[in-house]
Amino acid sequence: MDIIQLLPDHIANQIAAGEVIQRPASAAKEMIENALDSGASDIKLIVKDSGKTLIQVVDNGCGMSETDSKMSFERHATSKIRNADDLFNIKTMGFRGEAMASMAAIAHIEVSTKLTENELGTRIIIEGSEIKKQESVVCSNGTSISIKNLFYNVPARRKFLKSDKVEKKHIIEEFSRVALSNPEVSFSLIMDNQEYYHLEKSNFRQRIVNIVGKQTNEKLVPVEEETNLVKISGFVGKPEFAKRTRGEQYFFVNGRFIKNYYLNHAVSKAFTDLIAENYHPSYFLNLEIDPKQIDINIHPTKTEIKFEDEKSIYAILRSAIKRSLGQYNIAPTLDFNTEPSLVIPVGNPDRLVKEPKIRVDRNYNPFDSDSKEAISQSHKIYQNNFPEEVQKEITLDSNFESAYYFQIEGTYISSQTENGLIIVHQQRAHQRILYEYFKQNKNVKISSQKLIFPETISLSKKDVSEIEDIKTELNNVGFEIDIKEDCVEIHAVPQQCENENLQKLFDEILKEQEVENSDLKENFSSKLCKTLSNSFSIKSGKRLTQEEMRLLIVELLKCDTPTISPFGLNTYFNIKTEEINKKFNKC
């Protein structure tokens, strides 16, 4: 009995939609790319309810005829290729002929389009791959496509979409990628009746500044290199502005955004010894290469491509970036001429050399209580000025008695107990103390300290939007912030925040925001407590006084979970006297 049969077209299109249209952002991307292929110089993206209710793209491109407007929704119908050889000479954004057919299978679509030379245009309404209406209408030159109720007939797919906040973030990212690679085109993004971006035609540098933020201009280092294999142009960020997140990393090959971890490694290698570990450089790089040297037909979303000579491109890219960093005095370069700043002046033999004087406070008594209190106050490692209602009475654990504490390599605190020794990791212990404090008071506004002068943190528009979403949580832990268009103005910080690099701290907070989770807001509260406990904790190498060490151990032992840090690492361990005796008995 024969059991293999052809799938109906509408089912085949729904299956294809699972590969091409993964979420609302995927539909927006495909429609914008089609608008670019039409020769549009002005493109508008309109979104409602993070794309679940409406995604509309309006362009002033060449438009479509009545026949083409209907054919564009047929599967594998395309104007881009005619034979197999054309696959290796693709210069357009789209070519598969799958996107519009896939969207028509899982949404309600309305298209209005008109050729420039025609007086009337065409309007088509499609529901679930079926054309419900087609008529001639009066409309503007170009094309307007509206996708409504995405995944209306595939409830399982709609169920697995993320929260509106996450889907909105993906739409902004897809829009930014296309807008960055086409600065000669005007773009607008309107979300829920508010204009999010309005980008006029500009050069590449100005487009980066308009999308990422005004403060970006001073952070960019130009990169230019042209060889027989590839032409590289664009910018990399200065090392001191490297971030914990990878949000500002863009490769464009022949105007198409791509993801390529091998080339990303080339950029990272160029920044070796210039940025700290776990930090990532920003880059906005265009690669122009012969289409015959690449294969972009390896993934339905076309964000991954194959290079014929990837190793050579890796070497060229790395060298070009290193040369630019050196040329603009960002990185050291080989120079056999004498560097004036390194020249040590010859001493003057007639000059009288004075012996340095050492000042000693002869009234200082290390055993005097007042002196010890003064030292303790001048070396506070954390603010123990919690509100009275959350303070606990300080009591030592029954198994913990000590009159003296000492540090090991500025990292560990050791002291005698009734049964042996306790060794505490000072940073992890402080992380646990701060974490439980922030956690216990997450729903109560924690006292803060005002800054004499407000500090401004420059962020991209997307990052500013994410900070706005968690403003309540930030206020609860002691921050007072004003959110501007492309920056955050900080007026007050938590009392535990002493001399913190606020730009670095907010980068850490934004890194936690990258995690996709439908219940992100609830989980983020815990993640924020972890981030703050890590940032505000004392670091390894910090020298502590006797009183500081004592208080740290006492506060740790009062914690609900004193044995591990918020990151699951041991905070301390005990060495019993029996274990020490065994060590010496073996000798």
- Per-residue pLDDT for 205 more than 90? yes
451-505 pLDDT, tens digit per residue, is 888 888 878 777 888 888 888 888 878 888 888 877 888 888 887 776 567 877 8
- Per-residue pLDDT for 49 more than 80? yes
Q: What is the pLDDT of residue 176?
A: 94
Residue 326 belongs to what H/E stretch?
Answer: helix 310-327
% of the chain with per-residue pLDDT over 90 = 27
Q: What is the pLDDT of residue 24?
A: 92
Q: Which residue has the higher pLDDT, 69 or 336?
A: 69
Q: What is the pLDDT of residue 485?
A: 75
CB atoms under 10 Å from CB of 509, counted, come to 23
Q: What confidence tier does 517 reach under pLDDT thresholds 50, 70, 90?
A: very low
Q: Is the pTM of this model over 0.85?
A: no
Residue 73 is encoded by which pair of tokens?
């929704």
Residue 522 is encoded by which pair of tokens?
């609830």
Highest-scoring range by mean pLDDT, 47-51, 297-301, 493-497:
47-51
Q: Is 189 left (phi over 0), alpha (psi -120 to 50) or beta?
A: beta
Strand ranges across the sheet with 220-226: 220-226, 230-237, 283-289, 249-253, 256-258
- CB-based contact 287:313 (threshold 8 Å): yes
- Per-residue pLDDT for 173 more than 50? yes
Q: What is the pLDDT of residue 587?
A: 59
Measured CA to CA, the distance from residue 334 to residue 323 in angstroms comes to 11
Q: What confidence tier does 542 reach under pLDDT thresholds 50, 70, 90?
A: confident
185 contact partners, CB below 8 Å, separation of at least 6: 36, 40, 41, 42, 43, 179, 201
**CA nearest to 324, candidates 208, 238, 243, 249:** 238
Kindly tell me the burial class for residue 58, based on how many C-beta atoms sit within 10 Å of its own C-beta (0-12, 13-18, 19 or more). buried
Q: What is the pLDDT of residue 374?
A: 40
SS (H, E, C) 453-480: EEEEEECCHHHHHHHHHCHHHHHHCCCE
- Per-residue pLDDT for 519 more than 60? no
Cα three-residue angle 75-303-249, rounded to 5 degrees: 155
Q: What is the pLDDT of residue 438?
A: 82
Residue 499 belongs to what H/E stretch?
Answer: none
Q: What is the pLDDT of residue 486?
A: 76
Kindly report the average pLDDT of the chain as a whole number.
79
Q: What is the pLDDT of residue 17?
A: 60
Compute CA 131 distance to the chain's CA centroid, rounded to the nearest angstrom. Answer: 42
- Per-residue pLDDT for 153 more than 50? yes
Measured CA to CA, the distance from residue 358 to residue 71 in angstroms comes to 90
Lowest mean pLDDT among 214-223, 257-266, 526-535: 526-535
Lowest mean pLDDT among 184-193, 274-283, 312-321: 274-283
CB atoms under 10 Å from CB of 260, counted, come to 19
Residue 11 belongs to what H/E stretch?
Answer: helix 9-20
Q: What is the pLDDT of residue 348?
A: 55
365-409 pLDDT, tens digit per residue, is 555 545 444 434 433 444 443 333 333 333 334 345 456 788 888
Q: What is the pLDDT of residue 95?
A: 56
Q: What is the pLDDT of residue 242?
A: 85
Cα→Cα distances 363→15, 52, 372, 379, 532, Å = 85, 75, 13, 20, 41
Kindly tell me the burial class for residue 67, based on how many C-beta atoms sit within 10 Å of its own C-beta (0-12, 13-18, 19 or more). exposed
**CA nearest to 64, candidates 120, 21, 12, 20:** 120
**Domains, the chain, ordered by start:** 9-201 (3.30.565.10), 206-327 (3.30.230.10), 368-587 (3.30.1540.20)
DSSP letter string over 511-527? HHHTS--TTHHHHHHHH
Measured CA to CA, the distance from residue 420 to residue 401 in angstroms comes to 10
Helix (H, G, I), strand (E, B) or coil at 136: strand
Q: What is the pLDDT of residue 518?
A: 39
Measured CA to CA, the distance from residue 263 to residue 234 in angstroms comes to 15
| N-term to C-term CA, the chain | 82
Compute CA 284 distance to the chain's CA centroid, rounded to the nearest angstrom. Answer: 15
- Per-residue pLDDT for 224 more than 70? yes
Amino acid at the residue 238? K
Lowest mean pLDDT among 119-123, 200-204, 271-275, 329-333: 329-333
- CB-based contact 248:270 (threshold 8 Å): no
Q: Which residue has the higher pLDDT, 470 or 91?
A: 470
**CA nearest to 436, candidates 510, 570, 526:** 526
The structure tokens 């293999």 sit at 4
Lowest mean pLDDT among 227-241, 504-518, 553-567: 504-518
Q: What is the pLDDT of residue 408?
A: 87
- CB-based contact 558:550 (threshold 8 Å): no
- CB-based contact 124:88 (threshold 8 Å): no
112-149 pLDDT, tens digit per residue, is 999 988 889 999 999 888 889 999 999 999 999 999 99
- Per-residue pLDDT for 342 more than 60? no
565 contact partners, CB below 8 Å, separation of at least 6: 425, 428, 429, 431, 432, 435, 571
Q: What is the pLDDT of residue 422?
A: 85
